[in-house]
Amino acid sequence: MEGIRLLSDQPITIRRRVLLWIASIGPIGHLPASGTVAVALVGVPIYYLTCRWPVLLYVVAVVVYSLLAVWVHDVGDRLLGEKDSRKLVLDELAGFFIAVAGLGVFTWPLAILAVLVERGFDILKVPPANWVERRWPGGWGVVGDDVVAGLYTCAIMHGVIRWAPGWVGLSGV
C-alpha cells in the first residue's frame, strides 16, 4: 500500500493492508483535507440514499457503524503509530451521519450546510469534543470528538429545517 508506513515492529499482512485501505477509503485518506473529501464524496451520497430510512433503523445503523469505526481507528492508529491519523477517515463519516440523522429529506443546500457546519465543529473541537479527544482512549477519543460535532450539527440542522426551511431549499417541512 503506497503512502502508508506501518510501525517497524508490525508485520505487514494482507489483513492489515485491507483494514488500512478500508479505514482510509482507498486513496481518499491520502488527499489534502481528507476528512472533508470523505464526507463530500462518500458521506453525502450515503445521506442521499438513507435520508428516508425509518429513524430507528438509521440510528441503529449509525451506532453500529460508529462502534466499528472506533475499533478500526484503534487498530489503524496502533498500526500506523499515530493518534487520530489523518489517513483514517471513518470517524469523519460517523460525525456526518449523526449530523444528518432524522432529517428525513435531502436537498443540496441542506447537504452542503450540514457538511460545512459539521466539519467546522469538528475542526474547532468545540467542548466537550476537545476533552473527549484528549481523555478517551484510542478509537473512542478519535470517533468521540466527531460524534460531538455531529450532535451539535444535528441540532442546528433540525432547527434550520424547522425555523428557516427556505435557507436549505425547503418550502416548509
- The reply to whether 87 falls in a domain is yes
- The reply to whether 45 falls in a domain is no
Give the range of the structural domain holding residue 91, as residue numbers without chain letter.
83-167
pTM: 0.92
CA distance 153 to 160: 10
SS3 (DSSP) at 97? helix
- The reply to whether 110 falls in a domain is yes
pLDDT given for residue 6 in this prediction = 56
- The reply to whether 67 falls in a domain is no
- The reply to whether 15 falls in a domain is no
- The reply to whether 16 falls in a domain is no
- The reply to whether 13 falls in a domain is no
Indicate the pLDDT class of residue 11, thresholds 50, 70 and 90: confident
pLDDT given for residue 173 in this prediction = 52
Indicate the pLDDT class of residue 171, thresholds 50, 70 and 90: confident
Total of domains in the chain: 1
**For residues 144-162, average pLDDT:** 97
